[in-house]
Amino acid sequence: MSPRPAEEARTQLRREVTAAMKRRELRHKEADRIKREADAEFWQSIDPLRNAYFGAQTDIAAITGFTRDHILKQSKRHRSGGSHREEETR
């Protein structure tokens, strides 16, 4: 069996792994924030298009692959002033 490394080497390894884990967690949080912002921007731009003409929401559903109900709910959720719900879920 191989000898165990010196305690100093193990401590240094532990520090470096812990730092890498913290960086990873920060990057994941940043990615989640960017995704939330992109979703909000997308649905805010879709919301006025839903009423562009009779049947526009059905056409949007066909283009995006989302159901009409999903489009309606997400558009309402991400309307200006609806950002308080996102704050509650964080």
Q: Is the pLDDT of residue 84 over 80?
A: no
What pLDDT, on the 0 to 100 scale, is given for residue 81? Answer: 60
- Can you spell out the DSSP letters for 45-90? HHHHHTTSSTTHHHHHHHHH---HHHHHHHHHHTSTTTHHHHHHH-
For 48, list phi and psi in degrees, rounded to 5.
-70, -25
What number of other Cβ atoms are within 10 A of residue 32's Cβ?
11
Residues ≥6 apart with Cβ < 8 Å to 66? 60, 74
Domain boundaries, the chain: 7-89
Convert the pLDDT of each residue in 21-59 to its tens digit. Answer: 999 999 999 999 999 999 999 999 999 999 999 999 999
